[in-house]
């Protein structure tokens, strides 16, 4: 017995020593031990683990690579959503960002920011429980990602157990960061891939993504993946020790052995942010990894919380992107594509070119007016830029290279997919095909939208497969997806037993969804994700939504008369109602909208008036609905509370006349937090 406990403490001591040396080597680039001495410690641990299997712990530094490849990736909900960032493309955008913050933070005369390079890698979420790496996931759609723990464990700079430090690691924490590959390592990978006739990666980001998207952890282990932590999701600290700022979080990370970007700095105002951007821009060429900008985050967590978010991006952070990169190429053809709701978009296909590490071969052109403005013709040499993140765009035609007369592009008169006549609405610059889902292109696009990540999220139904399904008459409307049989799929090119089962499985899994995803998936004009969420929070049940009147729709904050018209028209069509009912009959299950019912405002009739500083009006409304309040637009005897912001107007007078209780912004925010 005694021997065992001595062995156990030696094993745990070895974990600690090895982890510390490993951190110094991989994260700090500062080796503190000879390689041979490190190997001796590692071998001692391996031998002890072989001799005493009961002492072989999953968080041991010897256990980075699991033995068996996985069968597939599991989907996992993040405890807290992984948000995206708003972009700033110039100094004015940054100043506007600061102005918006200062307008909301009226009581602050100074707002500090954390500044970090924006790594061009893959965002991951690491969950540590009781200090041990418990699970790692990709960002996915921000709400749900894929379990890649097996691959993340192979990354040497990611600790399997957090180092002990003065600040005790919390019992649960979601640590967010970026996995990336150094530029030189990426070149090496491609060199080797070329000699082995394997897949060449377009850029380091794709190489990192490709390595994490492997079922066999040995592939990831063979790639020189690196990691910098840059954010935090859920955390469960004891109340008093919890970090209060982004910079304090970075200090914690360092003390637990997690690598952070050494160029991270604090800026005390927006001008310091602007200088930081200039500094990083000039250092960019010397960095060993690729960055595409700089991220600024309001340092204080309290302020972050009161600033809140709009759609999927927080108001308290922004990415200042480097200018778009530009290249020149020759236009091969200009064709016309039909969108989900029939709009016709010209698309230029050109000779492929590499812009900033990404090979691009076509660009959409907004509308026909834009073709005229650019005067772009087939055969022209054009300048292309990759705007913002990814979307390539034609900036201008190089007329000096137009050696011979080229034909002007003529607007199409008939739909390129179904040949119906095209219409142009008076105040729209866009040509439209009005054949709806009778047009094969619109049918394909509406299915593509339905299965897309933020809609029903059906994996494995790419554009090519959907086209095949439509062309072979296997799917001509959304419900048909759920009637697909394995035999049907096996007849299609590229399907085998395993891939067919896999697709049917993901179609089956998609049946469990939420009302907001489902409404979004229907592809109603003007109904994006935010509107769909709003609709779901207001109607709560699909049956109620199907009966929505125009007045009810207009009454919903953030839904204007045009969107209300589109939604109402959509719901007035019997075909659409039938389609939804059919989908429900086929087994679509819509999770109950989660409403908290024990809040002071639950089940109360609340009216909002005036403008707010700490929260957007639409978000306030959403939060009220989440606690079960019934938000109404006019004050009456039935009103329980009037929530007033600045400049409340006539509703306040009426509420006072009727003796309705009035809550100010601070009161309501406090109650919502309960």
Tell whether residue 622 is a contact of ligand IVH (CB under 6 A): no
Nearest-approach distance from CB 213 to ligand IVH, in angstroms: 15
Strand partners, 317: 297
Q: How far is the CB of 304 from ligand IVH (least distance, A)?
A: 9
- Among positions 116, 185, 622, 665, the unique one binding ligand IVH when judged by CB under 6 A: 116
Interface map 201-230 toward ligand IVH (x if CB under 6 A): -----------------------------x
Q: For residues 266 and 345, which CB has a smaller minimum distance to ligand IVH in the complex?
A: 266
List C-alpha distances in Å: 258 to 120, 147, 198, 262.
Answer: 19, 20, 33, 12
83 in contact with ligand IVH (CB under 6 A) = yes
d(CA 296, CA 322): 14
For 442, the enclosing helix (H) or strand (E) is: helix 440-451
**Residue of the chain from 204, 231, 614, 648 that contacts ligand IVH (CB under 6 A):** 231
Would you list the DSSP string of 616-638?
Answer: -HHHHHHHHHHTT-EEESS--TT
Least distance in angstroms from the C-beta of 109 to ligand IVH: 25
| 80-88, 149-157, 541-549, 619-627 -> range binding ligand IVH (CB under 6 A) | 80-88
**Catalytic residue flag (residue 118):** yes
Out of 56, 63, 84, 602, name the contact with ligand IVH by CB under 6 A. 84
Nearest distance, CB of residue 297 and ligand IVH, angstroms = 7
Stretch that binds ligand IVH, among 116-124, 162-170, 392-400, 628-636 (CB under 6 A): 116-124
Taking the complex as a whole, how short is the minimal distance between the CB of residue 330 and ligand IVH, in angstroms?
Answer: 33
Report, in Å, the least distance between residue 220 CB and ligand IVH: 18
Nearest CB to ligand IVH, comparing residues 308 and 440 = 308
C-alpha angle with apex 271: 268 to 272, nearest 5 degrees? 50
Numbers of helices and strands, H then E, in the chain:
24, 26
CB closer to ligand IVH, 205 vs 443:
205
Tell me which residue of 50, 114, 481 sits closest to 264, measured CA to CA.
Answer: 114
Q: Which is nearer to ligand IVH, 97 or 539 (CB)?
A: 97
Place of tokens 């969420």: 533
**Per-state percent for the chain, helix, strand, coil, to nearest 5:** 40, 25, 40
* Neighbouring-strand partners of residue 392: 386
Q: 477: exposed, middle or buried (C-beta count within 10 Å: 0-12, 13-18, 19+)?
A: middle
Contact 348, 394 (CB under 8 A): yes
579 binds ligand IVH (CB under 6 A): no
Q: Does 85 bind ligand IVH (CB under 6 A)?
A: yes
* HSE-CB of 631 using CA atoms within 13 angstroms: 23
Q: Which stretch binds ligand IVH (CB under 6 A): 118-126, 242-250, 411-419, 569-577?
A: 118-126
Q: What are the residues facing 127 on neighbouring strands? A: 135, 174
Would you call 134 exposed, middle or buried from its count of C-beta atoms within 10 A (0-12, 13-18, 19+)? middle
Contact criterion met (CB below 8 Å) for 626 and 615: no
Contact 115, 264 (CB under 8 A): yes
The Cα–Cα gap between 368 and 391 comes to: 19
DSSP states of 226-292: EEEEEEEEEE---GGGS--BHHHHHHHHHHTT----TT-EEESSHHHHHHHHHHHHHHGGG-SS-EE
Q: Which member of 92, 99, 118, 332 is catalytic?
A: 118
663 near ligand IVH, judged by CB under 6 A: no
Q: Which one, 208 or 606, has the nearer CB to ligand IVH? A: 208
To the nearest 10 degrees (0 to 180), the angle between helices 463-471 and 440-451 is 130
CB of 81 vs ligand IVH, minimal distance in Å = 9
Rank residues 61 and 314 by Cβ distance to ligand IVH and give the closer one: 314
The stretch near ligand IVH (CB under 6 A) out of 82-90, 454-462, 591-599, 639-647 is 82-90
Residue closer to ligand IVH, measured from CB, 249 or 615: 249
Residue 139 has, within 13 A of its CA and on its CB side, a CA count of: 16
Tell me the residue nearest to ligand IVH as measured from the CB. Answer: 123
Distant-in-sequence contacts of 354-357, Cβ < 8 A, 24+ apart: 354/202, 354/327, 355/325, 355/326, 355/327, 355/384, 355/385, 355/386, 355/392, 356/203, 356/325, 356/386, 357/202, 357/203, 357/204, 357/205, 357/290
For residue 473, give both structure tokens.
């008459």
Q: Which is nearer to ligand IVH, 11 or 123 (CB)?
A: 123
> Contacts with ligand IVH in 163-192 (CB under 6 A)?
178
Question: Two tokens at 633?
Answer: 């637009």
Q: In this chain, which stretch among 88-96, 113-121, 392-400, 534-542 interacts with ligand IVH, using CB under 6 A?
A: 113-121
Residue 295 found at the interface with ligand IVH (CB under 6 A): yes
Query: Does the protein bind ligand IVH through residue 455 (CB under 6 A)?
Result: no
Question: What string marks each residue from 137 to 156 as x (binds ligand IVH by CB under 6 A) or -?
Answer: --x-----------------
Q: What is the DSSP letter of 400?
A: G
Instruction: Name the minimum Å distance from CB 453 to ligand IVH.
Output: 14
| 119 counts as binding ligand IVH under rule CB under 6 A | yes
Establish if 343 lies at the interface with ligand IVH (CB under 6 A): no
Nearer to ligand IVH, 319 or 537 (CB): 319
Q: Least distance in Å: CB of 28 to ligand IVH?
A: 19
* Stretch of 77-85, 105-113, 541-549, 636-644 lying at the interface with ligand IVH (CB under 6 A): 77-85
- What is the C-alpha separation between 105 and 185, in angstroms, rounded? 45
Q: Which is nearer to ligand IVH, 97 or 482 (CB)?
A: 97
Window 299-318: contact mask with ligand IVH (x via CB under 6 A):
---------------x--x-
* 485: helix, strand or coil: coil
At closest approach, how far in Å is the CB of 142 from ligand IVH?
A: 8
CB of 23 to ligand IVH, least distance (A): 20
Count of chain residues binding ligand IVH (CB under 6 A)? 15
Instruction: Give the residue with the Cβ less far from ligand IVH, 49 or 290.
Output: 290
Q: Which residues of 295-311 are buried (b: 16+ CB within 10 A; e: fewer)?
A: bbbbbbbebbebbbbee
Least distance CB 123 / ligand IVH (angstroms): 3
Given the complex with ligand IVH, which of 141 and 665 has the nearer CB atom? 141
Residue 148 has which token pair?
Answer: 């890649």
Active site residues: 118
Positions that interact with ligand IVH (CB under 6 A): 83-85, 116, 118-119, 123, 139, 178, 230-231, 295, 314, 317, 319
């Amino acid at each position: 017995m005694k021997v065992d406990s001595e062995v156990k403490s030696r094993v745990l001591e070895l974990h600690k020593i090895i982890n510390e040396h490993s951190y110094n080597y991989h994260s700090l680039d500062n080796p503190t031990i000879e390689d041979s001495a490190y190997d001796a410690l590692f071998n001692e641990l391996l031998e002890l683990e072989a001799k005493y299997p009961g002492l072989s712990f999953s968080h041991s530094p010897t256990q980075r690579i699991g033995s068996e490849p996985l069968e597939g990736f599991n989907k996992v909900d993040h405890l807290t959503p992984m948000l995206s960032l708003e972009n700033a493309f110039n100094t004015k955008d940054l100043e506007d960002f600061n102005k918006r913050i200062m307008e909301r933070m009226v009581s602050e005369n100074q707002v500090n920011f954390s500044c970090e390079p924006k790594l061009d890698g893959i965002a991951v979420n690491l969950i540590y429980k009781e200090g041990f790496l418990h699970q790692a996931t990709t960002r996915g759609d921000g709400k749900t990602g894929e379990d890649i723990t097996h691959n993340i464990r192979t990354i040497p700079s990611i600790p399997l157990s957090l180092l002990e430090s003065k600040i005790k690691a919390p019992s649960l924490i979601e640590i967010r960061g970026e996995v990336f590959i150094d530029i030189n390592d990426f070149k090496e990978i491609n060199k080797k891939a070329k000699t082995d006739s394997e897949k060449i990666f377009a850029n380091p980001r794709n190489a990192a993504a490709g390595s994490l998207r492997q079922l066999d952890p040995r592939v990831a282990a063979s790639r020189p993946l690196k990691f910098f932590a840059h954010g935090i999701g859920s955390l469960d600290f004891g109340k008093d020790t919890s970090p209060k700022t982004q910079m304090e979080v970075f200090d914690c990370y360092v003390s637990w052995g997690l690598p952070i970007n050494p160029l991270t700095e604090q800026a005390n105002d927006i001008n310091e942010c602007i200088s930081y951007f200039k500094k990083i821009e000039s250092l960019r060429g010397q960095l060993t990894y690729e960055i595409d900008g700089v991220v600024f985050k309001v340092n204080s967590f309290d302020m972050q919380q009161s600033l809140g978010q709009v759609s999927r991006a927080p108001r308290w952070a922004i990415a200042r992107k480097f200018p778009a990169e530009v290249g020149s190429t020759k236009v091969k053809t200009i064709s016309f594509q039909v969108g989900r709701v029939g709009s016709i978009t010209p698309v230029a296909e050109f000779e492929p070119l590499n812009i900033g590490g990404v090979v691009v071969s076509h660009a959409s052109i907004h509308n026909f007016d834009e073709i005229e403005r650019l005067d772009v013709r087939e055969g022209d040499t054009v300048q292309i830029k990759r705007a913002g993140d990814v979307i390539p765009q034609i900036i201008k035609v190089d007329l000096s290279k137009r050696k011979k007369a080229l034909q002007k592009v003529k607007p199409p008169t008939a739909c390129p997919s179904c040949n119906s006549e095209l219409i142009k609405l008076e105040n729209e610059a866009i040509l439209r095909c009005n054949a709806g889902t009778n047009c094969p292109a619109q049918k394909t696009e509406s299915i593509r939208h339905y299965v897309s990540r933020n809609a029903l999220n059906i994996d494995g139904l790419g554009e090519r497969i959907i086209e095949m399904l439509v062309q072979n008459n296997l799917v001509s409307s959304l419900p048909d997806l759920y009637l697909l049989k394995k035999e049907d799929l096996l007849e299609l090119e590229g399907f085998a037993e395993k891939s067919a089962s896999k697709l049917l499985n993901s179609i089956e899994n998609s049946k469990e969804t939420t009302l907001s995803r489902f409404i979004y998936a229907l592809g109603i004009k003007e109904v994006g994700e935010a509107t769909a969420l709003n609709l779901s929070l207001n109607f709560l049940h699909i049956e109620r939504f199907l009966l929505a009147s125009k007045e009810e729709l207009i009454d919903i904050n953030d839904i204007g008369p045009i969107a209300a018209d589109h939604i109402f028209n959509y719901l007035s069509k019997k075909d659409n109602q039938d389609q939804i009912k059919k989908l429900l009959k086929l087994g679509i299950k819509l999770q109950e909208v989660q409403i908290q019912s024990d809040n002071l405002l639950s089940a109360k009739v609340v009216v909002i008036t005036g403008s707010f500083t700490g929260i957007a009006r639409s978000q306030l409304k959403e939060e009220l609905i989440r606690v079960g309040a019934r938000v109404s637009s006019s004050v009456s005897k039935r009103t329980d509370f009037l929530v007033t912001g600045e400049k409340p107007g006539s509703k306040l007078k009426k509420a006072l006349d009727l003796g309705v209780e009035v809550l100010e912004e601070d009161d309501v925010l406090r109650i919502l937090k309960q």
